């Protein structure tokens, strides 16, 4: 056996050796990658690139400016290319010039009001310096909410309740000021375009000026949280008219309407359920489950008197199959709630009016009467926002958490 030539062996094995690892990334590179990952999470959540437009959330505008700078720097594109599974670095026009040292969030935030180009979509000259300063402080004070999955269903629920009219958002500028007593655990607000949930309220303490204060844990619907003083959070709700916050009302302010009239109640109207006598083929096929659900403030008999001349009633007589009396409730909001629940089974039909014009009635739904009864009961007890209508099962089912 010939003597092994170590130099020759080393040369042959070098092709199979792992490449020599270079030193770890610099703090600046880590910061660039972390900033890019925030943009990626935004795109995954919203399905679009962040935009510069004035009036949008300050974080979105920050991400938009940051993305422009990352695209402009060859160094950043090279670093981020292996991570860019969404194609963010090549999609769209590069708006800004950038120097290698201008990548810090604080600097980007300050530049939001100074981006050149009159009339440009990136121009935010009307944003006040004090607002930018508060926004920068808020960014610095926020951190990723590690247990956000616990709070995510709460934000989804409050959004459904806002859409259904069960909750409302009240502008803070309509009040003298938001009182600290109203900032309680479990309360929702809108701050800078984001829904904020007061998850925890700490122990009261006295400040140096002998004023009461406490520490809050506030979780935001973008997956961040802050450990902020109550008075600081209070001030953040009314910085100015453009950026003023809003209070989201509670959903447990009583039933939407009562089943019986109290002495001091005023009748608001009637929910009615009608069945059509039309001979239209679609109506004939589905007559037992096809119902018109509406709300009226007057006499129902008067409302349906001319049904044969009204495309809303399918140009045909109707029969009344159920009514529910309302007291002290917004008829429009209630009607919106009912229609939202049954929107998936809204009848898609086109009817000609007496002048020959095509009309699409919007208040007819393919839903059994017993399901309508249940929906009304759930509106009464305030639980309707927790349900959707399953057309295949023909019943209300709980919203997946």
At residue 4, φ and ψ (nearest 5 deg) are -75, 130
Q: Cα dist. 40→32, 37, 66, 106, 146 in Å?
A: 12, 5, 12, 20, 18
Confidence of residue 380 (pLDDT cuts 50, 70, 90): confident
Task: Evaluate whether 59 touches 139 at the Cβ level (below 8 Å).
Answer: yes
Q: What's the rounded mean pLDDT across residues 101-122?
A: 43
318-342 pLDDT tens trace: 999 999 887 666 666 777 788 888 8
Lowest-pLDDT range of 123-132, 245-254, 360-369? 123-132
* Mean pLDDT, range 358-377, rounded to an integer: 90
Q: Where are the domains of the chain?
A: 27-127, 143-248, 267-398
Residues 283, 366 contacting (CB under 8 angstroms): no
> What pLDDT, in 10s, does the model give residues 13-53?
555 444 444 456 787 888 888 888 888 888 888 888 888 77
pLDDT bracket for residue 119 (50, 70, 90) = very low
Between residues 292 and 136, which one has the greater pLDDT?
292
Smallest CA-to-CA distance from 86 within 48, 60, 34 is with: 48
Q: Are 331 and 268 in contact (CB under 8 A)?
A: yes
pLDDT at position 120: 37
Angle at CA of residue 367, ends 256 and 311, nearest 5°: 90
pLDDT at position 278 is: 93
Angle (deg, nearest 10), helices 331-341 and 148-164: 120
Residue 84: the pLDDT is 87
Where are the alpha helices (H) located in 125-276, listed in sequence order?
A: 129-141, 148-164, 230-236
- Three-state DSSP at 15 gives helix
**Which residues have C-beta within 8 Å of that of residue 162, sequence separation ≥ 6?**
168, 169, 248
For 55-177, where are the alpha helices, taking DSSP H only? 58-72, 74-80, 105-111, 129-141, 148-164
pLDDT band at 102 (very low <50, low <70, confident <90, very high): very low
pLDDT in tens, 186-219: 889 888 888 999 998 888 887 766 677 888 999 9
Backbone region of residue 92 per phi and psi (left: phi > 0; alpha: psi in -120 to 50; beta: other values): left
Give the model's pLDDT for residue 91.
Answer: 54
When pLDDT is averaged across residues 269-284 and rounded to a whole number, the result is 91
Position 370 scores a pLDDT of 94
| pLDDT surpassing 80 at residue 153 | yes
Is the distance from CB of 238 to CB of 245 less than 8 angstroms? yes
CA atoms of 330 and 164, how far apart (whole Å): 12
pLDDT (tens digit per residue) in 220-274: 999 999 888 888 888 777 655 555 678 887 765 444 444 455 444 445 678 899 9
> Each residue of 41-99: pLDDT tens digit?
888 888 888 887 766 777 888 888 888 888 888 888 888 888 888 888 875 543 433 44
d(CA 329, CA 348): 29
The band of 103, judged by pLDDT with boundaries at 50, 70 and 90, is very low
Enter the tokens of residue 206: 């006295």
Rounded to whole angstroms, how far apart are CA atoms 32 and 21? Answer: 21
Return d(Cα 110, Cα 377) in angstroms, integer: 53
Bridge pairing between strands 246-248 and 224-229: unpaired
**Residue 288's pLDDT is what?**
92
* pLDDT at residue 31, as a whole number: 84
Report which of 396, 395, 394 is spatially closest to residue 286, judged by C-alpha positions: 394
**Which residue reads 């003083």 in tokens?**
229
Give the pLDDT confidence score for residue 266 in this predicted structure: 43
- Dihedral class, residue 193 (left if φ above 0, else alpha if ψ from -120 to 50, else beta): left
């Amino acid at each position: 056996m010939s003597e092994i030539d170590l130099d020759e062996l080393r040369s042959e094995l070098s092709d199979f050796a792992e490449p020599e690892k270079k030193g770890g990334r610099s703090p600046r590179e880590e910061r660039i990658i972390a900033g890019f990952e925030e943009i990626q999470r935004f795109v995954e959540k919203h399905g679009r690139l962040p935009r510069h437009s004035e009036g949008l959330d300050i974080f979105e505008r920050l991400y938009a400016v940051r993305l422009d700078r990352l695209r402009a720097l060859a160094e950043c594109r090279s670093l981020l290319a292996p991570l860019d599974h969404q194609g963010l670095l090549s999609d769209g026009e590069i708006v800004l010039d950038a120097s290698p040292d201008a990548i810090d969030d604080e600097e980007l935030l300050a530049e939001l009001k100074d981006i050149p180009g009159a009339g440009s979509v990136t121009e935010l000259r009307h944003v006040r310096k004090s607002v930018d300063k508060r926004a920068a402080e808020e960014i610095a004070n926020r951190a990723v909410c590690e247990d956000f999955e616990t709070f995510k269903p709460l934000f989804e629920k409050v959004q459904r309740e806002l859409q259904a009219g069960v909750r409302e958002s009240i502008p803070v500028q309509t009040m003298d000021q938001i009182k600290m007593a109203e900032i309680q655990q479990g309360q929702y607000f809108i701050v800078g375009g984001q829904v904020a949930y007061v998850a925890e309220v700490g122990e009261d303490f006295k400040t140096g000026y002998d004023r009461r204060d406490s520490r809050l844990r506030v979780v935001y619907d973008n997956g961040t949280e802050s450990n902020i003083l109550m008075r600081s959070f209070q001030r953040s709700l009314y910085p100015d008219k453009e950026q003023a916050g809003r209070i989201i009302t509670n959903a447990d302010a009583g039933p939407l309407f009562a089943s019986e009239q109290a002495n001091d109640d005023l009748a608001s109207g009637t929910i009615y359920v009608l069945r059509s006598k039309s001979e239209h083929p679609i109506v004939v096929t589905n007559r037992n489950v096809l119902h018109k659900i509406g709300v009226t403030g007057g006499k129902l008999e008067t409302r349906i008197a001319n049904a044969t001349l009204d495309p809303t009633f399918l140009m045909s007589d109707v029969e009344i199959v159920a009514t529910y009396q309302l007291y002290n409730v917004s008829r429009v909001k209630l009607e919106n709630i009912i229609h939202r629940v049954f929107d998936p089974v809204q009848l898609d039909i086109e009817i000609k009016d007496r002048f020959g014009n095509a009309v699409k009635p919007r208040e007819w739904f393919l839903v059994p009467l017993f399901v309508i009864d249940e929906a009304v009961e759930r509106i009464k007890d305030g639980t309707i926002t927790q349900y959707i209508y399953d057309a295949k099962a023909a019943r209300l089912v709980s919203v997946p958490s």
